[in-house]
Structure 1
Amino acid sequence: MSRRSPIKTIHSHCHHLGWDNSHAPTARIEPGSTLELQCLDAGNGHFRPDSTADTVRSLAADRANPLTGPVFVDGAEPGDILAVTLDSFAPSGFGWTAIIPGFGLLADQFSRPALQLWSYDREVQAPAAFGTYARIPLRPFAGTLGVAPAAPGNHSVIPPRRVGGNLDTRDLCAGSTLYLPVEVAGALFSIGDTHAAQGDGEVCGTAIESAMNVTVKLDLIKQTPLAMPRFSTAGPVTRHIDGAGYDVFTGVGPDLLQAARDAVSGAIDWLTATQRVPAEQAYMLCSVCGDLRVTEIVDLPNVVVAFYMPRMVFD
C-alpha cells in the first residue's frame, strides 16, 4: 500500500472512555483525509517494565481501553458507511499480557492475576520472546475502532457493537479496510486498544497490549445501509504463523461457549505436559498466538470448536 503523509496527528491525550455521541470532536476532517492517531495501550499506561503480577490487582476497569478521538468526518450522516483503511502501525516496543481475575474464557479456572511483559524491536518487529518458552511473530493491529452509537449516554467500550468497537479481530491490520455503519452526524470515529499480536479469540482476555501510532484514511460511502461491520484484507491472513503447522484441540457438545472452553483447556493441558509451560503462562500463550475457530455448526445438537496452536512459536 502506498504511504501518505498524515495531514493531522491526533495525540494520545485526546482520548475518551466509553462510546458517547456527546463527546466533543478532537478534529474535523474532509472525507478522504489521512490521519495519524496516537493510541494508548488498553491499560491506559498502568503497566511499566518493572510491573509484577500484583500490579494487575490495581488495574482500574473504568480506565481501561482509552480511545483516541473522536474524529468528525464532514458530510457523514446516518445511513452512510465510514470506510477506515488501515495504512500503517508504529508500535512502541513495550507490551503486556495479563490474566485479570474474573475476566477471560477460563476465568473460573484462573482466578489469580498473572503478568507477562514484552520488549520487542519496534523497527524490525522480529518475533518477541515469551520467556524461555516461545517466540511470537508480531502482527500489529487495532483491537478497538468504531463510530459513535445513536443511543444517548456513555456506553462501555468492552463489548463490541453494531458500530464497531472492541472487535479484537487480528486481521484489522495494515492493508485492511473496515466498513462501519454511521449512526450520528460526523460519524465520530475513535480508535485504541492496539495489539502487537493476538490469536483469534483472545482467550485469556488480553493480547500483547501495546501503545502505538496508527495511520488511517477515512472515506465515506453515501447512503448505503450496512447492518454490521465488515472488512476486506489485502492478502493472506494466516501465512505469517502457519509455516510449521499446528497442533489442534477440539471441544464438542451442544453449547458453543462450553465447546470453546473445552478446546482451550485441551491446549493448555497439552502445553503443560509436552512443552513444560506452566498453566498460567500456557493460558496467556494461547491468547497471543493460538486461534479459536468454529469448525462445524450444522450437525446439531452438537457443534465443534477447534483451537489451533502454531508449532513455529516453539522452533
Structure 2
Amino acid sequence: MSIHELRPAASDYAYVFGGTEPVVQIRSGDIVEVSTEDCFGGRVRSAQDRPSEVCDFEKLNPVSGPIAVEGAQPGDMLAVHFIDIRPSRPSAVSVTFPYFGALTSSHETATLQDPLEERVWFYDLDLERWTAHFRAHGSDYELELPLDPMHGVVGVAPAGGEVRLVVTPSSHGGNMDSPEVRRGTTLYLPVNVPGAMLALGDGHARQGEGEVIGTGLECAMDSVIAVELITAAAPAWPRYEDDEFIMSTGSVRPLEDAFRLSQKDLVEWTASLTGMDLLDSYQLVSQLGLAPAANVCDPNYTMIAKLPKWALRDAEAYGGAHRRLRAAAHEYRTDHGIR
C-alpha cells in the first residue's frame, strides 16, 4: 500500500469526466490524500459576492483528478472508501440562483414566473465544535447546524469515449449530490475505460436530502480515500455501502425513473447476495427499503435505494470489500491521529 498526494493548483482542475489525462497513477489498495475546491472555485468569499458576477459558469464544480488505477479495465469495478472528509477552511457558502433549484422555474421546466433572487448565505464553520452558523437574511434568526461533510461529485470516465460535464450525474457517477457519500462510506463505480480515471470534488459541509435549493454548504475539502480494484464486477449504476446499509443509485429525469432505476438495482443486488429469486427480493426490499432523494435540481436527478444489512444475514458485498477498506481506514486514522 502506498499513500499519494493530490493537491491541484487552480489551473489543474478538470470540469469533465472523460477525455483528460491522469494526473496521478495508483495501484489497488493505495490511499490518496486529495484536496478539492468548492463548486465556485473559491471565488465566492462573502455574502456580498454574487456568483453571476465573480464566477465563470463554464467552470463550476471543479474536480481533482483524474486518478488512473493500474490494471483497471472496462468491466471491472472501483471500490472507493472515504477515510476522511474535512473542510479545509472555516467557511462555506450556499446560494439561490435564478432558474435553478427544485422549487423554481428552470431552463428545462419553463413557466412565466419571475426568477428567484440571487442570494448568498455565508456560513462560518467551527471545526472544533463541528458546526456551521446559519444566519437568516430577512430576520435575526440564527442557528447552529451540525457538520456532515460529503462529496457531491465522484465519478469515473464514461463509456464509449464519451466526455460528460461534471454537473450531470449518470451511470459513471458524477454530480450525484448524495449526502450518503460521507466518511465511512464505500462507493462502487463501474470501470469504463483503461485506468478508470477517477475524479472527485464539490464538497459540502452538509446538505439536506434532495439538495432542494440547488446548493449545499459548498466548501473546499481535504479528503482521504482508499481505492480497491475488483475485477469483472462492474455494477450498472453506482452503488454505496456503509456499516448499516447497502445502497443503489439511479440518475436520470424524470424523478420516478431515477427511483425505478435505484429500486431495480437494489432488488437485483439483494437477490444476488441472498440467493433469493427476484420476486422474493422485490417483496423484502418493498418492506424494508428506504428511498432518500439525493438531488432534484441537477440536469439529471438522483435517487437512492437503501436496505439495512442485517436483512442480508451473513452475506457480504464483493467479498467483504467494505470491511477490508474499513480496516485500512482505521489503520490510517490511527497512524495519523485522526479521530
**TM score, norm. by length of structure 1:** 0.70
Determine which structure has the larger helix proportion and give its number: 2
Please give the residue correspondences for 1:6-25 in structure 2 after superposition, counting only pairs within 5 Å.
7-13=3-9, 14-20=12-18, 22-25=19-22
Among 143, 147, 164, which residue is 1:155 paired with?
164
Write the distance in 2 (CA, Å) between the matches of 1:213 and 1:65.
Answer: 16
| Partner of residue 111, structure 1 | 116
Runs of at least 5 residues in structure 2 that lack an aligned partner in the other structure:
106-112, 247-253, 257-290, 294-339
Residue 64 of structure 1 aligns with an amino acid whose one-letter code is L
Deviates more, 1:68-77 or 1:225-234: 225-234
Write the distance in 2 (CA, Å) between the matches of 1:123 and 1:28.
Answer: 34
Q: Deviations over 1:37-82 (max 9, x none)?
A: 1100001112013x41644444322110000000000010000010
Equivalent residues of 1:9, 1:35 under 8 A apart: yes
Write the distance in 2 (CA, Å) between the matches of 1:147 and 1:201.
Answer: 23
Q: Given the alignment of the two structures, is residue 82 of structure 1 paired with residue 78 of structure 2, yes or no? A: yes
Q: Given the alignment of the two structures, is residue 36 of structure 1 paired with residue 45 of structure 2, yes or no? A: no
Write the distance in 1 (CA, Å) between the matches of 2:255 and 2:73.
Answer: 37
Write the distance in 2 (CA, Å) between the matches of 1:223 and 1:293.
Answer: 29
Q: Given the alignment of the two structures, is residue 165 of structure 1 paired with residue 174 of structure 2, yes or no? A: yes
User: In structure 1, the residue corresponding to 2:58 is in which secondary structure?
Assistant: helix
Q: Given the alignment of the two structures, is residue 64 of structure 1 paired with residue 49 of structure 2, yes or no? A: no
Q: Deviations over 1:9-31 (max 9, x none)?
A: 101323211112x3111101110
Residue 203 of structure 1 aligns with an amino acid whose one-letter code is V
Write the distance in 2 (CA, Å) between the matches of 1:30 and 1:121.
Answer: 36
Write the distance in 2 (CA, Å) between the matches of 1:19 and 1:85.
Answer: 20
Equivalent residues of 1:180, 1:230 under 8 A apart: yes
User: In structure 1, the residue corresponding to 2:41 is in which secondary structure?
Assistant: coil
Paired residues, what number? 237
Write the distance in 2 (CA, Å) between the matches of 1:55 and 1:228.
Answer: 32
Q: CA deviation at 1:293?
A: 4.8
Among 96, 105, 109, which residue is 2:93 paired with?
96
User: In structure 1, the residue corresponding to 2:98 is in which secondary structure?
Assistant: coil
Residue 73 of structure 2 aligns with an amino acid whose one-letter code is E
Please give the residue correspondences for 1:186-201 in structure 2 after superposition, counting only pairs within 5 Å.
186-201=195-210
Runs of at least 5 residues in structure 1 that lack an aligned partner in the other structure:
238-254, 258-291, 295-315
Among 155, 163, 168, which residue is 1:146 paired with?
155
Residue 181 of structure 2 aligns with an amino acid whose one-letter code is L
| Partner of residue 233, structure 1 | 242
Q: CA deviation at 1:153?
A: 4.8
Residue 25 of structure 1 aligns with an amino acid whose one-letter code is P
Please give the residue correspondences for 1:197-212 in structure 2 after superposition, counting only pairs within 5 Å.
197-212=206-221
Q: CA deviation at 1:157?
A: 1.2
Please give the residue correspondences for 1:297-308 in structure 2 after superposition, counting only pairs within 5 Å.
none
Residue 206 of structure 1 aligns with an amino acid whose one-letter code is T
Identity %: 31
Residue 106 of structure 1 aligns with an amino acid whose one-letter code is L
User: In structure 2, the residue corresponding to 1:192 is in which secondary structure?
Assistant: strand
Equivalent residues of 2:181, 2:187 under 8 A apart: yes
**TM score, norm. by length of structure 2:** 0.65
Equivalent residues of 1:160, 1:166 under 8 A apart: yes
| Partner of residue 181, structure 1 | 190
Write the distance in 2 (CA, Å) between the matches of 1:57 and 1:100.
Answer: 12
Equivalent residues of 1:53, 1:113 under 8 A apart: no
